[in-house]
Chain A
Amino acid sequence: MEDVTTLTKIQLDALREVGNIGSGNAASALAQFLNRKIDMAVPTATILDFKDIPTILGGPSTLVMGIFLKVLGEISGRFLLLIPAQTSIKLLRTLIPGCEIDDPLNMGEMESSCMREVGNILAGAFLNALSALTQTPMLNSLPSMTYDMAGAMIDNVIAEMTAVSDKVLMIETSFIESEEDLKIHIFLLPEPKSLMLLLHKIGVN
């Protein structure tokens, strides 16, 4: 399948459930990691015009922390975590004893490495759940991280997926830490060519 616009409502519902299972596991991993209660928003699976993606992320010039990984295996895709500046500061201060960082622009090697590890753990937990669900091994590439404009990150992530179609399938969820407004957005973009296999593996054709 190269054109995601032909997905039916049932197929989209199934993909939303994939998002639910993956993010549920990632949320528990994050809760354990931070030793806090984490709430999860109901995931969505939507077909979007790529032109609208920067707006969904808060506008093309909104500054965010982005952690990107490729999903490798028979079912492949891209995994992007977007973390607002305030949340990344809170995460760093929680995870690194004595950390007093106040602007992600001032991150050093220790902080960058810590954020990449957050990405690794969340992506790993998400993909493990998916792997168990589909009985298909899934691996992730090493995480790559940057703090910059959301619009600029999206270019890199979706460019190759939009060669044929202007539409992109995006499974999205966010985590909210109950008291402190800790927000993390997870985007999974399955490669169009592995979508059929993914749907087949979860019993939806």
Chain B
Amino acid sequence: MSVVIPVGMGELKVARSPETLVVYGIGSCIIVSLYDTKSKVGGIAHIMLPDSSGIAKERLNPNKFADTAIPALYDAIKGESGVFKANLHAKIIGGSEMFPPTEDYENNIGRDNTAAVKIALKKMGFPLIAEDTGGKRGRSIEFVLESGLIMLSILGEEPREL
């Protein structure tokens, strides 16, 4: 039987086959997954905000921010046996705007989060092989570590694989 591990807002988890990582109700948050195809080890960071600059170090929860969570995810995954940086690839899911701004000066957190994780992934040199981002709907995912596939569900749409 496979073990299902939920990853909440601002959390970061690493697991390996036959485990499954799940995230329910993703809005403007963005999920970054890293997966090692050879060892079937993977991890997820459930990121809430784009940028940690300006936050005092002693108060910083690195898992919440795109610029700090992706290095933290790599740190957590690289210690697992059989993981090599060259085998890792990334997928990103989320970054929607559930309540589209009614005033044009308002910022769009979902879009900012998406842009920030792309920059952070590039900096770390992880190839981004799939993404499902933006829009106005919430998302839920199941990251099956045996196959490396991410099952994506959106209200009112057919589930699909990433």
Contact = CB atoms under 8 A, between A and B. Distances in A.
Interface of A: 50-51, 54, 59-61, 63, 66, 68, 70, 105, 141-157, 159-160, 162-166
Main secondary structure of the interface of B (DSSP, over half): loop
A141 B28 CA distance: 19
A146 B28 CA distance: 14
A156 B98 contact: yes
A166 to B, nearest CB: 6
B71 interface: no
Contacts of B99: 66, 68, 144-146, 153, 156-157
Given A159-B48, A164-B55, A153 B102 contact: no
A125 B93 CA distance: 38
Contacts, number: 106
Among B8, B24, B27, the most chain A Cβ lie within 10 Å of the Cβ of B27
Contact of A151 (B48, B106, B138, B156): B138
Contacts of A153: 27, 98-99, 138
Contacts of B96: 152
B26 A151 contact: yes
A116 to B, nearest CB: 10
Contact of A148 (B28, B101, B155): B155
Among A51, A60, A150, the most chain B Cβ lie within 10 Å of the Cβ of A60
A50 B61 CA distance: 13
A51 B6 CA distance: 12
A152 B48 contact: no
Interface in B92-125: 96-103, 106, 109-110
Contacts of A150: 25
Contact of B49 (A66, A144, A159): A159
B97 A156 contact: yes
Contacts of A145: 99
Contact of B28 (A51, A63, A147, A159): A159
Given A51-B9, A63-B155, A164-B59, A148 B98 contact: yes
A155 B24 contact: no
B29 interface: yes
A150 to B, nearest CB: 6
A50 B25 contact: no
A95 B14 CA distance: 49
Contact of B98 (A51, A66, A142): A66
14 contacts: A54-B8, A66-B99, A68-B98, A70-B103, A141-B102, A142-B102, A144-B102, A152-B27, A152-B138, A156-B27, A157-B99, A159-B48, A162-B64, A164-B59
